[in-house]
Structures are given as C-alpha cells and as structure tokens.
Structure 1
Amino acid sequence: MSIRNPLNFILLFTVYSTIAFAAGYKQADTAMFTDQGDRVLLNNGIVSAVINKSSAHMMSYRYRGIEVLKDGYYSMDGGKSYAQPGHCEVSVKVNTPNLVDVMFKSRWQPGLRQQAFDIECHYVIEKGTAGIYCYALLTHEARYPQGRIGEWRYVWKLPDGVFDHINVDLLRNMDMPSADDYRNAERTTIPEAIKLKNGIKAGQYECKYNYSAAYYDIGTWGHTSNKNKIGAWMVLGGYDFLNDGPTQADLNAAAGINHLHFARNHYAGSVTSVATGEKWSKIFGPFLLFVNSSNDVPNALWADAQKRVAEEKAKWPYTWLTGVEEYPNSAHRGVLAGTFKINDPYKPDVKGANAWIGLTTPEVDWENDSKNYQYWVKTDNEGKFTIANVRPGQYTLHAYASGAVGEFEKQGINISSGETKQINTLTWVIPRDKGKLMWEIGIPNRTAIEFKFGNQYWHPFMWETYSPALPNPLIYNVGSSDWRKDWNYVQSAYWNNDGTLSQWPWKINFNLDKLPSVGGEATLTFAFASLDRARLVTFINDDITPFDTFLPTLKTGGNALIRQGIHAKYSTYVLKIPVSKLHRGNNSITLVSNSGKNRTDHIMYDYISMEIPQ
C-alpha cells in the first residue's frame, strides 16, 4: 500500500487502531478494568459492569452477586427516528488504581441515524463506590446538517423477578405487580396504559406515566427488593444539563425500568435544534447508577439513596472529570449569592422563602430551553440563596415562588471564572393597582395539586373517577365552597355513566356588596398549570353570548391529563371586565374549556382571582 502523505498515514493508523480496539484489540488490564475483546469489564469489588464496545450497551451489572440489569443504554427519539449509539470507537480516558473512565464514541454519518450529532458515552467506576457513573456528550460539527433531538435519555432496564417495590415520592412508594401480572393485563384505549387482572393491583390501571415527576423535586428514583434486600437507583448530583427548568416533569422509574431523560420532552418539553453550519456541544451528567442494601426495605434503602443525592451534590462538579471543555472544574466556575424578597401588600406572609432562583441564557425562554445550561436553587426561609458552580457568562436571573403569580426577572448578570458575586437584595414588588382583591381560587404555585383529586392525578383514566363525584355543571360559591373539595384539578370533558363525553361548564358564583361609582374594569387573573388543545370561553352573569374567548398559542400542549401529570407548561392570562357587566349582589362567571368531544383537551388551573376598583 502506498502512502504519499505521511499525515494521512498517521490519521489512517489512528482510525485503524481505534477500530481495532473496538473490535477486540486487547488493552492492558488493571485492577478495575479488563478488556474482554468485544466488551469491557469494570469491577471495583462492590459492583461489576460489562459494556459492549460497539453499541455502548451495558450488558451486565452485578451487585452482591445479583444481576441488577437486563439492559442499559443511551437512546434518542422514537418510532422511525429512534436511534442508539453504534459503531463506537472506544478508548480508556482514565485508568488509575482509584478510577477508570471508558469512552464509547459514535460519530454521526449519513445513514447511521437521523440525528446529526456525535454521541460520546462514558462509563466510570470508582474505587469504593457502590455504583457506576455515566455521562455523555453530544457534538454537532459545523459541517453537519441540521440536528434535532426530542427524546434523549439513559435507560436502565431491570431483570424480571429481582425488584418488587418502586420509590419515586410520597405518593408513588409502593409494591409493584409482578412481570406475570403485566403480561396478563388487558390493553386499554390509551396505548401505554393497561388494566391489571391479577396480583396486588388487580382491577387497577397501570402506565409508565403513573410515576412521572419533576427531577429537581426528587433527586433520586428507583426500585427495591423485599426478597433480595437491595435497591437500584438513579442519583443526580448536578442538574444544570436538564432542560426547561425545575418545573419540567418526565418519566423516571416505572415497571421494570429506571429512566433518566436529559431532554425531558414529555409534557410539552422543548426539543434541541442546532442549525446547519453551527458548532455546538453539551455534556449530560455525570449521574450515578447507585445500588445499596439493607434489611429495612424500602425505607432505609430510600433514605440512603436520598442521602447519596446530598453527597453527590456536595461533590459537584466532580474533581475526577477533567480535560473536558464542556465541564469546567470548580475553580473555573462562578458563584452568585444574595437575598430575594417579595413585597405583596395583599399577602404579607409571602416573603420570598423557598422560592426558586435561576440563572438562564438571556433572551431565551427558560421553560423551553434544552440547548443551554441552567442553574437553579431554592432560597432558604429568609430568602437567602447561593447559586454555585455556574459556567462563566452572561445570564438573566429568574425567580418565582408559591403565593405569587408570574415571575421576577433581572437581566445582565455576569458571572466570571472563579468569582463569588454578592448582589444586593432583590425585591419583587407585586403590583396591586387593579383594586381590591375580591376573591381567589387556589394557590399560585404552578400546579393543580391542591384541588379536588389533585393527589390522585397520577392514575390513568381519572375522568372515570372525578366525573361521577362532581356535578355537571360544576358550581363554586365564593365564600362557602372550598377549592380543595369543590374545584377539580382539571377541567376536561365530562365522562357520563354510559361512557359518552359531554361539555363540562364551571360556574363561579360571587356577591358584590357594592360597585365602584366611577366605573372602570374588574380584573380576572388566570394562572394555568396546563393548557392542552383547549380554549377558555368566559360568560358573565348567565349571558348566552360569550364575553371572551381565549385561544392560547403559547405554553400549550403536553398531554398532561392523558399522561397523568399535574402540570405541563405555566402561563397566565388577564381578562378585563367592564364593571357595567357586573351587578350589585349576586354575580356569576362561567368557564367552558372544550367541546366535550374528546379526552385530551383540558385546562388545569393553577389560580384564579378577581380584583375590582373601589
């Protein structure tokens, strides 16, 4: 073979040697790393993992002599666009007595997958750690065509018969049906949902969306085994790579599986889109596939996993992950600290405690951003906050809190490498220039969980439960009704006893002792936890002609009712009503959200209030 250009020879040799390693070239074995030809073995004496070189699939994961994995892999999208890494180049990034980091890189090429990104997957084993760390990088080279990703996740499939209990949060902490129970279940009209005929949940519906949650709220999720006295958990130490902020929910644990969705695209999550000619890269993780053991199942195991979250947060960013531009160490990140306060003349108890504070990319909607990093923390009881480990750059600060509609924003926050920036107290003054607060329904907290059946939202086919329990039309009397009992968590079509659907108007009755002598406008403020293919039609005082029809075009979708969510995207709407449309004494406002012809269209109200000038 003739090589005219020595550089070409070097490049060719590099490619061939890398491919040879991927196909079976033997790397030097060490205490925690063994090259097994077409796979590698990681073993620290506590856990062991076998990873296929070509696909980056984890083929085996053992703990205390028990196989805790059926399959483990990265994947993108679904249907005809479904893709996994393939034809990986493999190299050992780090191989020391204390840590091994093995890279599996799948370079994009036409015909390999639709998503024009290089996928670089890493598996890391550390001495003394009961788990395997994972992280991945996506790279879009400038020469690539447009790249677009919806779903992007790590999937840890569990073996049948090993685990029997699921732990997500206080609502989803329960023994699970067996694999046979699932196999013998009935299909339903919702493709992902089944109805169990046997076992501990016989007669109940089951679906992977039963367990969806906001990752920021839980930090860890997984399964435990009453028989084997072990647990298998996803554990997050960092969250900056996640899309769409702390409210975004997605799949996590479900029957026989642990998910980690980096691009949480369910519930109207954003997609990652990179233009032709644009160079872009982002790191996802590291996260920990954590395992533990205890005779106290599941409580001690769950508590231990939650403790591990705190430990991993304290280690972030990990000192062992070096030489990756997308993951600067702590010395090359910055810190923002300050105090956040809320000043609301009508609600003096809302002061800024336990508020969410975040730094996000300027001029980008943080609720629809999967392309950039975000940094969010909660304030303490005094409103103090510290946002640590922020990559240097220009940011916009956002804040929101339970009890306040909308959010606070401050632009032009510059974070420098190695800087700890202390900013002056941030005060969000809630404008109260619309008159007296006459009444309100709910708590402005970006969720509908406080309403009737709100703690059961995660069950499939909930309209079969709430419709028979509530009247049509729903009547809410300000002053005597209780929104926790009389206001449903979702306004959808009404399910009738014969299985048909009909429209479900909701009527709010209220009394006005007097009207302003100078006229003016009443202000009806709506905060929505979810809007999906719905319109909001408002009628005043039994007028048969709609006073207003709101057709939302932003922050909609997500299928939160069918996918058993308690919120999707947050939005608000302010409706001005001439005082002349109201009466002294009894008044009513009727809300209609859909045609009543399907199960998907709905509104989940977060909060409604009326203010009237005096």
Structure 2
Amino acid sequence: MYLRLLFLSTLSFYIFSADMLYVTRARISSTAAMGDLGVNLSFQENYVAMSNGLVEITLSNPEGHLTGIQYNGVDNLLEVINDETNRGYWDVVWSPPENTSRTKGTLERLAGTSCEVIVETEDQVELSFSRTWNSSLEGKLVPLKIDKRYILLRGSSGFYTYAIYEHLEEWPSFNLDNTRVAFKLRKDKFHYMANSDDRRRDMPLPDDRLSGRGEQLAYPEAVLLVDPIESHFKGEVDDKYQYATELKDLRVHGWICMDPPVGFWQITPSNEFRVGGPIKSELNSHVGPTTLAVFASTHYGGSDLIIKFGESESWKKVFGPIFIYLNNVTDEEDPHTLWEDAKNQMSVEVEGWPYDFVTSDDFQSKHQRGSVSGRLLVQDRFINSKGCISASGAYVGLAPPGDIGSWQRECKKYQFWTKADEEGYFSIPNILTDEYNLYAWVPGFIGDYINSTIINITSGVNIDLGDLVYELPRDGPTLWEIGYPDRLAAEFYIPDPDPRYANSFLLSDPNRFRQYGLWDRYSELYPDNDLVYTVGESDYTKDFFYAHVLRKTNNDTYEQATWTIKFSLYNINENETYTLRIALASAHQSDLQVRVNDLNEVPLFSTGKIGGDNAIARHGIHGIYWLFNIEIPGNILYSHEENSIYLTQVNNESRFQGVMYDYIRLEVPQTKTMNINS
C-alpha cells in the first residue's frame, strides 16, 4: 500500500538577494562540498556514467537513454521497474508528408548509434549520442540526424541536456508533430507535484488510473478515480491536461520525494527554441510521476503547429539546453521548501542564459547574439483623440518574417519575447543571428501589431527601434462591447463543475476553467433555449458562457447552439456600414456563422471550418487567436427597435467542436454619433 500524508503548503514566493540564495543553496545542498571532487567519467559494458560527488547519471551506450540518477543516498530516482528505455529519453512523433491535417503519427524514442566524448575535464563532461539517417531507414525512423547531448558540471546539483536536429535537403519530406524529453520517476517515492504556486499538491498514483480503480471518461487521458489506493482521491478526475501551463510561465516544475526529502525539477531558462509563442500552453508534470520538457507539439494549436518538411528542404535546430535540478533538505526540515529553492535556482539559470559552457557550434554564445529595444505606443483616436497611449504590459517579440499573427503558427525557427513596462518600453536580449519581424499585442486592445521591416540580427548588434505605433483596427466609436480583449475567455462565466467530477484544488480562481466536463454544463444551464445576451442588461461575467459549445440532447448526441446578442439603435442611416469585430480565443473544427435580424437568412458571414486547438476538451481557456471584422449594412438594422445578432457554430460531428470568444465589439460608422438604448 502506498500510504502517505497529504501535505498542505502556503509558502509564497519571495524576492531574494545573492547572499540569501547562497545561504539557501548551502543549507539545502548539505553535501555541496562533495562537488569539489570534480567530474568523473566512466565507461562500462553498454553504459556510461558521469558523476561529480553530488549526482551520478547513467546512460545506455550508444543509445543515450537515461537509465539511472543517483542522488542523496537514493540509488535511482528514475522508475526502476520500467524498462531502461522508458525512464529518461528524448522522443518524437512523426508522420508521412501526406498526413497534413492529422495530429497523430508514429511515436519514436530517439536512440543513438554512437557515443562521443565532447569534453572531459575535472570541471565538465559533455557526451554526445548521435544517429544519422540513410535511405535504408526510410519509413522506419524519422529522417533526421539526431545529436543528443548531456552535460555535467563540477559542483552542480543536476545536469543539462539538449539536442540538435538536422534535416538534409536530399532526405525525404515528412511531418514532425511533437518532440520532447520525458522523465519517469519512482512512484514509490515521488508523490508531491508542483507546477506553480497555485497548482502543487499530493498526487494520485498511476495505479489509480488502471481498470477497476479508474474509469475512463470522454477520452483516455481523463480518468475518474473510483477506487483509488488512498481514499481521499475518490471521485476526482485525473487528467494531465489540467496541469498544462503557458510557456511564459513554464520555467520550473517537478516533484518532491518526502523520504528522503529530495526534489526533482525540470528548469527551462529560455523559450527561444519552443514553438507557438509565449502564451501557447504545454504539458509539463503529471501523474506517473512524469516530468516533461515539450519543445514542439500540436497541443492547444492543432495541425497548424505540425512542423512540415518539404522536398529539398534543409533545416537545423537546437532544442535546449534544459536543466534537471536536484535538491534536498534534512529530515528535520520541511520538504516543501524544496519548491522555493527550485524557483530560486530557476532565476539563477535564467540569469545565466545563454550558457557559456555549451560546446556545440550550433549554440550561439552571448557575444554572438544581438539585442533589440524600443517603445510601443497604441493609437486609438476614439479612446484618446489627442495622441498615443503607452502599450503597458504589451507582449513584444521577434519571430521569422511573416504576416500579422503568423508567430502563433511558426514552428521551425526561434522566437524571442518580452513584456513591455508600464510606459511601453521593451528590451529583447540574446537574439540569435537571423532575420526577423517584430510582433506584439497589448492586453486591453484588440488585434495584432507587426512591424514589417526586416530586422537583421548580427553578432553584437544592439538595435534601438525608437517609438513604434500600433494603430488599432477601428472604423468608428464603440456602440457596445462584450468581454475584455486579452486573448482569454477567462472573464466570462465559468460554471461550477459537475459534483461527480470536481477536483477541490481547482475550484477557485484562477484554475476554475480546468475542471473536467464543463462543456456539458452548458446543456444543463440552457436545456431548452440557447444563450441570449441583452446589451445594457446582461453581465458578461455572469450571463455569457465561457465557451460556445454544442448542446447535449437526451439521446447523448450534440446539436448546434445559436447564441443571440440583442441591442437597440436609433437614427440609423441605411447607406452606412457598421463593423462587428469578433475576436476568438479558441476554435476547434468550427464554422461560426453570423446572421443579423433573420435567423433563416443566408449567413452574413461565415468563418469556414477553422481551428484544431481542442482547448475545450483539454481544460484550456484559449488556443490560437482569431480576429474577424464583419461589415453590417445599415439597411438590415432596425431603428427604434430591438436588433439581434445570431452566432451559430454549425459543425457538430464531434462533442468538442466549438469556439471561445475573447471579445466582441460593434462599431458605429465614424460619421454617426453613437446612440444606444441602455
């Protein structure tokens, strides 16, 4: 029986000085003096080991799978009952090139065929496990050259890993759906998981998901715990997607073993090598106990984020390095403090990026990179007629040249993002040499900014772009608006979960949307008639459901749902055009149709089938952002009468088809004066 106590922690993050960090690290790493032994490398039959007196890691030779991690008196932190190929490994999901719309392919663990010592000194060992591709492997292995690296430093309480993927132009085309590093920890030791300050807790066991103890729900990842080993988990839903995190916040996560008190943490100091931009959500740690470093995936993005390689296409990319950090406390100290120490170490790793000890020529050092700075302003004459507004809190980034918003779907190269200060000033350091566009969006304002001028980053360059102005999409003053433009649906009504599926630690903000089965709550709240929102009377935080989903019928099928927005206008000029702006926070295999005042007419606008982020099923609050600008002729609007805008998501082949709204606004023509019955 895996009996254990449920530990609750209310520790908060604190600002620390260099001296404080030194004291904390010295206390937690009580064996730190052993790091003075230097780094040792040893080869055995079929294995190679690196140790520095603090940690020892063992890898299969020449495959390069991580088979063992020895630390703080524990012979192996990895799951010893697993096959050695299923403990710590790099993998990919790939598929033939004709598989352009699906997001499933062949799962392959990347095994090297040769091992090379890159560096061997008392201060550092770096190993390479590589494999190249040839025509005899066509259809059997992913057509990439793989070079997996592991680094152990003197005095370091952990190790680094990164990989270089390369595709030569003479090799066949294919699709790369997913790539990551996975670590499977011992289930008899690691029971407490931490993803963030508000998502850390004692976790169920993987055995609880097995048939008899767990009941699969709408999809395999979601399991209702009906007879868990520890009874207090009974009635909870376990689903790895409940722990997904936006990349901007995905810096450190992992597990704590209480006996002996040991922490295992995956730290990602930079997101430059990840795909989809700073707010793409990604998996990290979940029941297993499993810890992941996902570099590219279709999660919360769909087939738009499949990396597609065409004929005669050459490509090379460095993924990582990431840092696996190990820490401990004495038996008398609170093991939960290991999370605070891990966050401190994360800050140290971020400050040290780009690492100066990485030897590959494909990884650019700090002096080889460049930087960009400037200030972003917002121009909206209907908010401030006298000038521009500071783009406070704007997300500003460099990504490969493209169109407005193309950074969301960019998945082959690198991206570099920052957040502007209150005055709109921004600085982006450590940018790899290449050509970029500058992109941005500003919370509180609709749409995307792009500076289409090509920015050429060369070694050591520091480019000051000066003041940049984002002119918002705007044709006239606002008649009415629903929501807040921040690319999330979080401000809308998020219902309480079905009591049969409620997870207590997700009941409060900001995690309410992560509960299982919220999509079916719509049908319970609106069993006969769909949502109606009346401008001037309704409150979008209470009366506007967070996701436009399908309605579940009595025979367990799903039918279209039409939402209605009602509003009144006066003094309409039939010759003028009104503008309806609909910003979507998510779309999954959806066709959103817009009609005005006649539900039986041909749609005034249709998105066509869009999206594949599956955020509704995966407990997300957003996926890929969409903005649609719809012209409404004045002659179809009613003056001195109630008007209705009908929103219908017409696809209903799957229960999870639907959209999430970010923000909806109706603008009057600029020549008119706003007049709305409130």
Distance 1:518 1:538, change over 3 A: closer
Which position in structure 1 is the counterpart of 2:364? Answer: 328
Distance 1:470 1:218, change over 3 A: farther
Residues 33-182 of structure 1 mapped to structure 2, 5 A cutoff: 33-66=41-74, 67-70=76-79, 71-77=87-93, 81-109=106-134, 110-111=136-137, 113-182=140-209
Using the TM superposition, give the Cα deviation of residue 51 of structure 1 relative to its aligned residue in structure 2, in angstroms.
Answer: 0.7
Using the TM superposition, give the Cα deviation of residue 242 of structure 1 relative to its aligned residue in structure 2, in angstroms.
Answer: 0.9
Code of the residue aligned with 1:369 in structure 2: it is E
Q: Is residue 272 of structure 1 aligned with residue 314 of structure 2?
A: no
CA distance in 1, matches of 2:526, 2:598: 21
Please, which of 329, 340, 351 is the counterpart of residue 376 of structure 2? 340
Code of the residue aligned with 1:352 in structure 2: it is A
Equivalent residues of 2:597, 2:645 under 8 A apart:
yes
Code of the residue aligned with 2:655 in structure 1: it is R
Code of the residue aligned with 1:475 in structure 2: it is V
CA distance in 2, matches of 1:92, 1:500: 59
Equivalent residues of 2:596, 2:604 under 8 A apart:
no
Q: Is residue 315 of structure 1 aligned with residue 357 of structure 2?
A: no
Q: Is residue 241 of structure 1 aligned with residue 273 of structure 2?
A: yes
CA distance in 1, matches of 2:310, 2:361: 21
Using the TM superposition, give the Cα deviation of residue 575 of structure 1 relative to its aligned residue in structure 2, in angstroms.
Answer: 1.1
Specify the SS of the correspondent of 1:285.
strand
Using the TM superposition, give the Cα deviation of residue 117 of structure 1 relative to its aligned residue in structure 2, in angstroms.
Answer: 0.3
Distance 1:47 1:347, change over 3 A: farther
Deviations 1:229-272 (A, max 9, x none): 33222111121111121122221111121111111222225122
Using the TM superposition, give the Cα deviation of residue 401 of structure 1 relative to its aligned residue in structure 2, in angstroms.
Answer: 1.4
Distance 1:305 1:569, change over 3 A: same
Code of the residue aligned with 2:290 in structure 1: it is I
Equivalent residues of 1:140, 1:147 under 8 A apart:
no
Q: Is residue 569 of structure 1 aligned with residue 624 of structure 2?
A: yes
Distance 1:372 1:439, change over 3 A: same
Deviations 1:125-149 (A, max 9, x none): 1122221100000012233222431
Which position in structure 2 is the counterpart of 1:531? Answer: 587
- Unaligned runs of 5+ residues in structure 2 are 1-36, 80-86, 95-103, 496-510, 673-678
Distance 1:347 1:286, change over 3 A: farther
Please, which of 443, 447, 450 is the counterpart of residue 491 of structure 2? 450
Equivalent residues of 1:446, 1:570 under 8 A apart:
yes
Residues 392-411 of structure 1 mapped to structure 2, 5 A cutoff: 392-410=433-451, 411=453
Specify the SS of the correspondent of 2:446.
coil
CA distance in 2, matches of 1:530, 1:216: 18
- Relative to the length of structure 2, the TM-score reads 0.81
Identity %: 29
Which position in structure 2 is the counterpart of 1:578? Answer: 633
Using the TM superposition, give the Cα deviation of residue 224 of structure 1 relative to its aligned residue in structure 2, in angstroms.
Answer: 2.5
Q: Is residue 193 of structure 1 aligned with residue 222 of structure 2?
A: yes
CA distance in 1, matches of 2:293, 2:369: 25
Using the TM superposition, give the Cα deviation of residue 334 of structure 1 relative to its aligned residue in structure 2, in angstroms.
Answer: 0.6
Equivalent residues of 1:538, 1:546 under 8 A apart:
no
Distance 1:459 1:96, change over 3 A: same
Which position in structure 1 is the counterpart of 2:295? Answer: 262
Equivalent residues of 1:157, 1:258 under 8 A apart:
yes
Code of the residue aligned with 1:465 in structure 2: it is R
CA distance in 1, matches of 2:609, 2:642: 34
Moved more, 82-91 or 29-38: 29-38
- Unaligned runs of 5+ residues in structure 1 are 1-28
Equivalent residues of 1:342, 1:427 under 8 A apart:
yes
Specify the SS of the correspondent of 2:390.
coil
Equivalent residues of 2:112, 2:129 under 8 A apart:
no
Deviations 1:504-546 (A, max 9, x none): 221112222x233464111110111111111112232354324
Please, which of 565, 577, 596 is the counterpart of residue 521 of structure 1? 577
Please, which of 251, 259, 262 is the counterpart of residue 230 of structure 1? 262
Code of the residue aligned with 1:306 in structure 2: it is K
Deviations 1:124-181 (A, max 9, x none): 1112222110000001223322243111111111111222222223553332112332
CA distance in 2, matches of 1:145, 1:117: 10
Distance 1:390 1:116, change over 3 A: same
Code of the residue aligned with 1:393 in structure 2: it is D
Moved more, 251-260 or 457-466: 457-466
Which position in structure 1 is the counterpart of 2:31? Answer: none
Deviations 1:44-64 (A, max 9, x none): 222221111132110111221
Number of residues of Structure 1 aligned to a counterpart in Structure 2:
581
Q: Is residue 540 of structure 1 aligned with residue 596 of structure 2?
A: yes
Distance 1:518 1:582, change over 3 A: closer
Moved more, 587-596 or 395-404: 587-596
Distance 1:597 1:48, change over 3 A: same
Q: What do you get for the CA RMSD once the two structures are aligned?
A: 2.3
Equivalent residues of 2:591, 2:609 under 8 A apart:
no
- Relative to the length of structure 1, the TM-score reads 0.89
Which position in structure 2 is the counterpart of 1:510? Answer: 567
Specify the SS of the correspondent of 1:150.
strand
Equivalent residues of 2:585, 2:623 under 8 A apart:
yes
Residues 347-386 of structure 1 mapped to structure 2, 5 A cutoff: 347=383, 351-363=390-402, 365-386=406-427
Equivalent residues of 1:503, 1:597 under 8 A apart:
no
Deviations 1:473-519 (A, max 9, x none): 1121222222122111211112356644333221112222x233464
